Amino acid sequence: MKLYHWDSFERRFLSVPVRDHLPNGECVRLISVEIPKGERINAAAASDDQMICLLSGSWRINIANSELVVRRNEAVIIPSGFNHSAEAIEDSFALQMVREHGPEEECLWGV
């Protein structure tokens, strides 16, 4: 799995809505995740592509029998069908972005 460091990307703003960059029938759901140090997220298979972006703290993530440490301002993309689990190394807050297929009006919100 590839680890992305947000600090190494040039910041730019899109002049068009994000939905213009998604294929028809696809959307992205944002989920906020707050996990205290030592808590685990049980293994699960991703039903759709997802990206986890850590805004604070750090996680130890197991993806497809590989271990990866993700820290603040880093992100990892988990492809559909891959088993993954995580443990918070320290108190953490993350955004999980899940790419979904379905009616657009069902996906235009965040949790």
List the CATH number of the domain containing 72.
Answer: 2.60.120.10
The angle formed by the CA atoms of residues 111, 26 and 5, to the nearest 5 degrees, is 65
Question: What gap in Å lies between CA 17 and CA 52, rounded to an integer?
Answer: 21
52 in any annotated domain: yes
Question: What gap in Å lies between CA 71 and CA 90, rounded to an integer?
Answer: 10
83 in any annotated domain: yes
Q: Work out the average pLDDT over 27-48.
A: 84
77 in any annotated domain: yes
Domain count, the chain: 1
80 in any annotated domain: yes
Q: Work out the average pLDDT over 12-20.
A: 56
Q: Is the pLDDT of residue 111 over 50?
A: no
Domain range for residue 30? 3-106
Residues contacting 11, CB < 8 A, separation 6+: none
Q: Work out the average pLDDT over 30-49.
A: 85
Q: Is the pLDDT of residue 19 over 50?
A: yes
Q: How confident is the model at residue 98 (pLDDT cuts 50, 70, 90)?
A: confident
75 in any annotated domain: yes
10 in any annotated domain: yes
Residues contacting 49, CB < 8 A, separation 6+: 77, 78, 79, 80, 98, 99
Cβ proximity of 30 and 96 under 8 Å:
yes
What per-residue confidence (pLDDT) applies to 72? 93
111 in any annotated domain: no
60 in any annotated domain: yes
